[in-house]
């Protein structure tokens, strides 16, 4: 891959991560609103405790989805501001690197995604794996999953 192709690949990764986070945000917002409506629509019955319990459970669900929405928006902000327009010589946020034929993108914790039919593991810059890898260069070795691994590529 040329440097230009590598940067375009990182742009596609960033775009896909943004798309997934926007989708997560929309889903969390919708679920939060549904939970709030459900809690508001609970009618008082002769069993007042049941009514109060249902409202409380609806409020707990609403709060959980509100937290998920907030986290998705924070992650989207991180992705939006991630610098990917340079070829990196060391591993840092915005880097793509390869270990054991596995491409890894340092951004936020999204797990495995596919871009151009290529599987890429998206890890958080706060993850323990990144902590072991940050500022490592091509040829450096890292030890994880009880094995020694060599960094093959960074861009």
Instruction: Please list the pLDDT of the chain residue by residue as tens digits (155 residues).
Output: 899 999 999 999 999 999 999 999 898 888 878 877 776 776 555 455 555 676 777 778 888 888 998 998 999 999 999 999 999 999 999 999 999 899 999 999 999 999 999 999 999 999 998 999 999 999 999 887 788 999 999 99
Does the pTM exceed 0.85? no
Of 46, 1, 14, the C-alpha closest to 110 is 14
Of 110, 104, 102, the C-alpha closest to 78 is 110
- Residue that the structure tokens 């991630």 belong to: 82
């Amino acid at each position: 891959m040329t440097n230009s192709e590598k940067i375009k690949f990182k742009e596609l990764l960033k775009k896909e991560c943004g798309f997934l986070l926007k989708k997560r945000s929309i889903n969390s917002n919708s679920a939060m609103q549904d939970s709030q409506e459900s809690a508001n629509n609970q009618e008082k019955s002769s069993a007042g405790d049941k009514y109060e319990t249902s409202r409380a459970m609806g409020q707990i669900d609403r709060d959980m989805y509100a937290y998920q929405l907030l986290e998705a928006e924070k992650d989207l902000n991180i992705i939006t501001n991630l610098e990917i327009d340079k070829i990196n010589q060391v591993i840092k946020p915005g880097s793509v690197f390869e270990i054991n034929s596995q491409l890894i993108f340092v951004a936020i914790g999204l797990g495995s995604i596919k871009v151009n039919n290529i599987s890429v593991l998206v890890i958080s810059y706060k993850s323990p794996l990144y902590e072991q890898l940050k500022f490592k260069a091509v040829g450096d070795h890292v030890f994880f999953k009880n094995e020694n691994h060599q960094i093959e590529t960074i861009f």
